[in-house]
Structure 1
């Protein structure tokens, strides 16, 4: 760097602490090894969004580098270039003077170049007796040398982020295609299910994909579309399972076609099928025998957050709790099909309690719909009970109140 002190711009251009810090950082930088100027230029171009630069600013930087005669940037050479605005405009594809000044300012603000203005604001160089440049005023390219490693690292980060973005976008496209075709298959095959709700959910997710999505947008939509894919597959799998022969009848040697078998009715009276009624599973029968209903006061003690969502701003009955649970279902993004499945397995009141517990712990649950679906699957296998989850929240609420007291 030709200047051993902080320099300020000429005329009405203001000086800021950020510009001072950039000059100090450039002066104190440890990277003094020569670097190939066009390689650094490519790194700056790749990291232009991180640096807040537009394409036209890169065209101006390209023009500035063209006035530096050597291929490598080195502190042994003069790093100040001093072209006039007319020369810069000619080499920057003929941009206007106003745009040129804005681009130069953005390059300075990004810490890519440093102004080294003369006493009168003109750009020129003074040569010694041997013809070498002793002093020059214009734009110093020293930040490109000092920050070469930083620019290369930024360019690598941007490239990695772009690869990740393309990969996530491809995954979203595949999952979106799969969900669309699975919904169509379910409708065409007449599979029982609330397909209208599934279709509405699919359309709603797709409608929230921006024309120019960010990586965060893609990840959010991918999570939602993946969850919807799981729900659609679950509906189709449930339909396939419902078509399979009853495994208990096969064990006892009963044939489904033989409805007059007395041995089948005598050995398993609880499996006797009423005309037009869907056979209940073992877990459903056990649930009906031993419903998991707790005192409403206990539920509200463990889940006070849901109380304010009742029809009249409070919950004083099971009906009002179920109404509040429907509101919470929508707030947490739980799909209608997941809620309906839970009601069929757990029961309406028990599902409302489960949703109240999930709402109480919503800050610790990534996907409320997936969590409820998981509880439902465990309940089908007889491996879930509301008691431990509810009473854990009651104890937690009691300890919190105790600490406040």
Structure 2
């Protein structure tokens, strides 16, 4: 028994030209050739649902407007799985009246939309002799005769749609990552300007570079291509590298003349909280990136609150032995001194990881990452500057990392308030980061907490 879908085929005359034939264009002929290559979906392709999903995923990257996507989605309501098998044709024949009502379009708009679908290579119009859309199926639901929208081109382009969607997703992720790098580079340049002002350098050149970085960043915010963004990111990151090198050279020159002492206090009051001094080595000494609160520190200055006697006792020696400059005993890593590498700090405080630019960071990288992390913890720029003066930049970064590793319930007020208390203790000579780090190690070894996945 043959059946014809009810409600279809009425008032469905197509846009025909002279002699009852549809006007053809080069785009329509190309779509006809595409449809001729349809031999059915391969096994495991997933049927018409998979074709529609692939088309909709690729549509944004093909520049297709929403009305086209909606129209194709609507046409798939009338197809069945067996229509996409080998030897069959996925033809649907909804009437013009139904199409106009469902899509909320007028007659002229509907004709223009259908023609657009053909010219985009998505469907082929199969016209009946009388210009109406209709079709019949047998008892098994297979199409015997049908005139209307042939969806074969969508099946032929199935693999193309999937490839376009995958490429588009990869491009979108690349753009997202590049835009993040633009923001990081711009803020890093602004941070250099702030540092130059803090240490009393002439900010003119740095301010001009920061303004140029902002202008370039605004232009890149409108870019949609990863190639354009990559070029801009390279310029910003190169500029940041040059500015940072210039800043470090100027600071080093000032330190050589002794004028930097009045800008930043490099020796806090308690010896276990003195800042780590950079010692870049050409060999592969595993201790080159280790912060030690005592053995890697400078001697305490007069009036710092740490006498020679107390310094000697904390190192396991008497004050007189310290004064004679005898050889230091072997270091005991028992929580009385601070000894940690950047890699271990990241393992103990993994919230630093997203802000690090490389997998094996050095202390300058950790300090820069901490300056970004402080925003998440509610630590203000002035408080961060006070911490760097009270503890030194490296130990301020370690203190901030410790705060980031604490659970939310650990704080009586906020993480920023907790960090403020650590700064106050550092000023009073009461902060012992070594003991805290030792406790974090013990807890990690016992419970395996804060381990990166």
SS at match of 1:233: helix
Do 1:10 and 1:118's aligned partners in 2 also have CA atoms closer than 8 Å?
no
Matched residue, 2:190: 180
Matched residue, 2:16: 11
Matched residue, 1:144: 154
Whole-Å separation in 2 of the counterparts to 1:134 and 1:46: 32
What are the equivalent positions in structure 2 for 1:87-102 lying under 5 Å apart? 87-92=98-103, 94-102=104-112
Change (3 A) 1:69 1:189: same
Matched residue, 1:219: 230
Do 2:35 and 2:153's aligned partners in 1 also have CA atoms closer than 8 Å?
yes
Change (3 A) 1:53 1:130: closer
SS at match of 1:135: strand
Change (3 A) 1:30 1:238: farther
Q: In the TM superposition, what is the alpha-carbon distance from 1:238 to its structure 2 partner? A: 1.2
Q: In the TM superposition, what is the alpha-carbon distance from 1:22 to its structure 2 partner? A: 3.0
Q: In the TM superposition, what is the alpha-carbon distance from 1:107 to its structure 2 partner? A: 2.4
What are the equivalent positions in structure 2 for 1:2-401 lying under 5 Å apart? 11-12=16-17, 14-28=23-37, 32-33=41-42, 35=45, 36-70=47-81, 73-92=84-103, 94-126=104-136, 133-192=143-202, 194-211=205-222, 213-245=224-256
Change (3 A) 1:163 1:63: same
- Give unpaired runs (5+ residues) of structure 2: 1-13, 258-453
Do 1:74 and 1:145's aligned partners in 2 also have CA atoms closer than 8 Å?
no
Q: In the TM superposition, what is the alpha-carbon distance from 1:30 to its structure 2 partner? A: 6.3
Q: TM-score scaled to structure 1, two decimals?
A: 0.52
Q: In the TM superposition, what is the alpha-carbon distance from 1:242 to its structure 2 partner? A: 0.8
Whole-Å separation in 1 of the counterparts to 2:129 and 2:120: 24
- Give unpaired runs (5+ residues) of structure 1: 1-8, 247-405
SS at match of 1:47: helix
SS at match of 1:159: helix
SS at match of 1:190: coil
Matched residue, 1:364: none
Q: In the TM superposition, what is the alpha-carbon distance from 1:60 to its structure 2 partner? A: 0.8
Q: In the TM superposition, what is the alpha-carbon distance from 1:51 to its structure 2 partner? A: 3.2
Whole-Å separation in 2 of the counterparts to 1:133 and 1:30: 15
SS at match of 1:122: coil
SS at match of 2:148: strand
Q: In the TM superposition, what is the alpha-carbon distance from 1:82 to its structure 2 partner? A: 0.6
Q: In the TM superposition, what is the alpha-carbon distance from 1:50 to its structure 2 partner? A: 4.1
Do 2:186 and 2:214's aligned partners in 1 also have CA atoms closer than 8 Å?
no
Aligned length: 237
Q: Kindly report the root-mean-square deviation, in angstroms, between the aligned alpha carbons of the 2 structures.
A: 3.0
Instruction: Render the CA deviation track for 1:256-295: whole Å, top value 9, x for unaligned.
Output: xxxxxxxxxxxxxxxxxxxxxxxxxxxxxxxxxxxxxxxx
